[in-house]
Structure 1
Amino acid sequence: MCAKPPASISHRPDNLAAAFGQYLQDQQGLAAATIERYRAVAWLFLDGRFGGGEVDLRTLCAVDAIDFIQRQAKRMRPPALKCVVNALRSFLRYLQYCGESAPKLVAAAPSVATWATTPPLPRAISPEHAQLAIDSCDRRTSLGLRDRAVLLLLARLGLRAHEIIAFTLDDCDWDSGCLHVHGKGRHERLLPMPADVGEAITAYLSRGRPRSEDRHLFLRSLAPIRGFKPGSDAIGSIVRYALRRAKVDAPHSGSHQFRHALAVRMLERGASLVEIGDVLGHRSPQTTSLYARVDISSLRSLAPPWPGDAR
């Protein structure tokens, strides 16, 4: 069921935004960080329209959505503004789903022009720099053992940060040599565990993981000893510290560059886009198709011959 607002027409912005966030969690299965961003946009929209007072949803109209986006456009770059538009549309669809607004209100949120004919190529870390980051971890310490296992999961399997945070001890199937990955939108998949990844996880479990009743695979190194908080930047911090130790000037400081590097490497070795999408957990082929532009030689083979070519 929809986490529907109370039956009365008047609401408070914080209560309405909270109900929206609960709906995203229960019905959409979005990541915690995405839910928080969308909830914040919904609150900002309502607070700006009604000044923090009671909300009368019957008075919302297309101009309200347009004015809100125009105000945000003055302080945001197009990529960030597109995220705000997506969040606002999601909130307006939620109101429509709950019978609190007309369908035409969803279409009122304007599109954001980025003036790019094609999406930008993903920024990938080079194999050499990735290995330097992995080798920078001190295997004589529990922290180094943990961070090395995390970096190998990023480099060998291209996992998302939240997927690594969500790992539990039960997700390691040692008999079959597989990992049970909890992806976006509650999408789950099984991936084979590479030998070096398995060895790194085993080393962490036997010599580095603190004693704890928490079943998460990777734990904080400082008290309170527990798994990383969902939606936190813990994996990103591990990557940044490793790059700094290795003195690597990478194209990006986040964990996704390892994911992009794996996709490029698989493509260069002859993997199909479908195979790459299966490993990365893409739910749409369109997402994986971005990597096709990386392999120029393969794309040339798809081009038809020029009219009149003597071949």
Structure 2
Amino acid sequence: MQLTRAIDAFAAHLEKVRRLSPATVRAYRNDLHGLVAVVGDIDLGDVDLEHLRDWLWQATQRGDARSTIARRTSAVRTFFRWAEEEQLIAADPSLRLVAPKRGRTLPHVATADALRDVLDRLERQAQDGDPVALRDHAVLEVLYGSGIRVSELCGLDVDDVDLDRGTVRVLGKGSKERVVPFGAPAKRAIDAYLTRGRPALAARATGSGPALLLGTRGGRIGSRAVYDLVAREVGPALGSSAVGPHTLRHSAATHLLDGGADLRAVQELLGHASLGTTQIYTHVSSERLAAAYRLAHPRA
């Protein structure tokens, strides 16, 4: 079987048997097609360890991040393990493939004051009743107020929001559902958007469906639009255009820990399967504490 045909079969397995999200399946495809670009569309059984090492070496020469190379290594190992289990190959050539160690990089976090200024400005802009301004304010308030992922935000339906309780029901990774609280500012922003913004946006399409957040044409908002919104509104306040919805998620988690929230509570809020994933924010919080100490303590 040719390599591209095997990748197609593997992607179908991920989608239909393992029931991974379309975005995850697409990421596997992209990583594995990168291998095809290097070794060619050869027979699956002809791929050997040297092919794989050459693939990673070229990625290193291009300056690809270690985390990216490590992810590709994981993808190719999963692929060949599946191929061996399906008896498409006699032996797994990726068993001795060594991935570079991931460097620990702390997430980019905005200060509470910087985010307060941004959100206050968006609230003022929304006061004239412009539907897009109302939506944009609601988007950023929900992202920061709840710490949910951009995919979870875009997937929200109107019925997922409980304004009385101040909670939102989201479908996270692995199709795991959780209920996440949000604060009074987000509640006000959502209420204003539902009352004055969403009806106007919904009128621009023949059928907007149950989606909570709508795009300018009346359909469900996409993640790209949310990324552009965050980069445009939050980026200048942080002095960087390299920010996205994850910046608000990181900031929400760090500010919760700064305020004394329990680590396991933050884990549940963020929807992390492992506590270890959440612990990165303790490092961020500790660094901020150390910086404040060095700046303020007379004997630092």
| Short-chain TM bin | 0.7 to 0.9
Q: 1:89 aligned to 77, 98, 123, which one?
A: 77
In 2, Cα distance between equivalents of 1:34 and 1:221? 27
Alignment check: 8 A CA contact 1:293 1:299 kept: no
How do residues 244-283 of structure 1 correspond to structure 2 at under 5 angstroms?
247-249=237-239, 252-283=242-273
How do residues 77-226 of structure 1 correspond to structure 2 at under 5 angstroms?
77-101=65-89, 104-114=92-102, 116=103, 119-137=104-122, 138-139=125-126, 140=128, 141-174=130-163, 176-209=165-198, 210-211=201-202, 212-222=207-217, 225-226=218-219
Q: Residue type of the partner of 2:215?
A: R
Q: 2:31 aligned to 32, 41, 58, which one?
A: 41
In 2, Cα distance between equivalents of 1:193 and 1:260? 15
Q: CA deviation at 1:189?
A: 0.6
Instruction: Name the one with the larger helix percent.
Output: 2
Alignment RMSD: 2.7
Q: CA deviation at 1:242?
A: 1.2
Alignment check: 8 A CA contact 2:3 2:43 kept: no
The percentage of aligned residue pairs carrying the same residue is 27
Q: Residue type of the partner of 1:213?
A: S
Q: CA deviation at 1:127?
A: 0.8
Deviations 1:285-305 (A, max 9, x none): 1101112223439999xxxxx
Counterparts in 2 of 1:90 and 1:109: CA distance versus 1, 3 Å: same
Deviations 1:153-202 (A, max 9, x none): 11111111111111112212346442111111212111124232222112
In 2, Cα distance between equivalents of 1:185 and 1:103? 30
Alignment check: 8 A CA contact 1:88 1:109 kept: no
Q: CA deviation at 1:247?
A: 4.6
In 1, Cα distance between equivalents of 2:263 and 2:91? 36
**Residue of structure 1 in register with 2:276 after alignment:** 286
Alignment check: 8 A CA contact 1:125 1:250 kept: no
Higher alpha-carbon deviation: 143-152 or 61-70:
61-70
Deviations 1:178-229 (A, max 9, x none): 211111121211112423222211211221112243222111113xx31134
**Residue of structure 2 in register with 1:305 after alignment:** none
Q: CA deviation at 1:260?
A: 1.4
* 1:21 matches 2:11: yes
Could you state the TM-score of these two structures normalised by the residue count of structure 1? 0.80
In 2, Cα distance between equivalents of 1:175 and 1:263? 24
* 1:64 matches 2:51: yes
Alignment check: 8 A CA contact 1:154 1:255 kept: yes
Alignment check: 8 A CA contact 1:136 1:242 kept: no
Q: CA deviation at 1:125?
A: 0.7
Which secondary structure state, in structure 2, belongs to the residue aligned with residue 191 of structure 1?
Answer: strand
Alignment check: 8 A CA contact 1:28 1:185 kept: no
The size of the alignment, in residue pairs, is 279
Deviations 1:251-294 (A, max 9, x none): 84212111111111111222221111111111111101112223
Which blocks of at least 5 consecutive residues in structure 1 are unaligned? 1-9, 301-311
Counterparts in 2 of 1:255 and 1:92: CA distance versus 1, 3 Å: same
Which secondary structure state, in structure 2, belongs to the residue aligned with residue 197 of structure 1?
Answer: helix
Counterparts in 2 of 1:77 and 1:297: CA distance versus 1, 3 Å: closer
